[in-house]
Amino acid sequence: MGEHPSPGPAVAACAEAERIEELEPEAEEQLPAAPEDFDPGNTGYISTGKFRSLLESHSSKLDPHKREVLLALADSHADGQICYHDFISLMSNKRSNSFRQAILQGNRRLSSKALLEEKGLSLSQRLIRHVAYETLPREIDRKWYYDSYTCCPPPWFMITVTLLEVAFFLYNGVSLGQFVLQVTHPRYLKNSLVYHPQLRAQAWRYLTYIFMHAGIEHLGLNVVLQLLVGVPLEMVHGATRIGLVYVAGVVAGSLAVSVADMTAPVVGSSGGVYALVSAHLANIVMNWSGMKCQFKLLRMAVALICMSMEFGRAVWLRFHPSAYPPCPHPSFVAHLGGVAVGITLGVVVLRNYEQRLQDQSLWWIFVAMYTVFVLFAVFWNIFAYTLLDLKLPPPP
């Protein structure tokens, strides 16, 4: 039998990273030990000379963009040493803040042409490149995403949520015999998914209300924004992070209504949608010079106009004479709860592509603020309605 070829450096590094993750760290600043060939003194660092020789001997096995990142990492260390932990993290697609700072502060500019200038790309490659330029402000992040994205798993969260919303809307439309302004139907609020102030003790309603929409005009805009904004964001940041922002916006929306518009029901996924869209727009504004998406000013204006029209529709509907008095039509406050989540938690997520959120102080500040709000809203729902002697509409 022939001998098996020796594994490349990326494979070996990934295996080493997996072994490191299984060990319980003894101290926060302890570094994993590097192999003796790289680090004979067991210092946790390797010399840039050995690092370069390793790159040169295995350059054909590395993606060209990743090789550029590695070279930039080597050139950014004037002291001639590279943290072996950064090297392991890089090869296992887990970049630390110290790695990012090493790249951004490096004294070597990436030499190859920008990703946007590359020719001869397939349709799928052009799509991935387009998503990178739509969502990421740094060229080095765009190249990293372009080389690393495998579409496994696909953006399943936003697609699944959208399909469920459409399915529930069609089912309700057939049941009620009405698709436009469904919310005006006398039996609309009888659905067990709608948040209703008299039924606020049924905790699932704070989340399931997203599957009920006021009408096809309400559903249409939310679906378009979820697919055009949510799917690309999920392709870049993953289902866990985007799902977290979306669900946080949904829950914040219903809780905000229960505090600020206490007699009104809630329907629609606008809380989650506005969380994602506001986070994306805020990220573009904060990184305006770095974002290279086409017609960004025009597209931001269109997005803001669409969001304003949808918000205006919700305000108009809230104060329109109700089809089921004394209960008013659904509240518009959920939109504002979603925006608040988007410009806090959402911005931190989008600004830290492939960075550990637990290392970001702003992340913990906004998580603490969100937790305080949720606890406040829970106690408000338990005690405030009784203390204020508020007269609520009867249950549907």
Q: Which residues are catalytic?
A: 270, 335
Residue 353: other Cβ atoms inside 10 A: 19
Contact 329, 269 (CB under 8 A): no
Residue 391: other Cβ atoms inside 10 A: 8
Nearest C-alpha neighbor of 102 from the set 65, 63, 140: 140
Strand-pair partners of 148:
none
Work out the widest C-alpha separation in the chain, in whole angstroms: 85
The letter for the amino acid at 44 is G
DSSP secondary structure of 19-70: HHHHSPPSSTTPPPPPPTTT-TT-SSEEEHHHHHHHHHHTGGGS-HHHHHHH
**Cβ density class 332-349: b for 16+ within 10 Å, e for less:** bbbbbbbbbbbbbbbbbb
Contact 97, 359 (CB under 8 A): yes
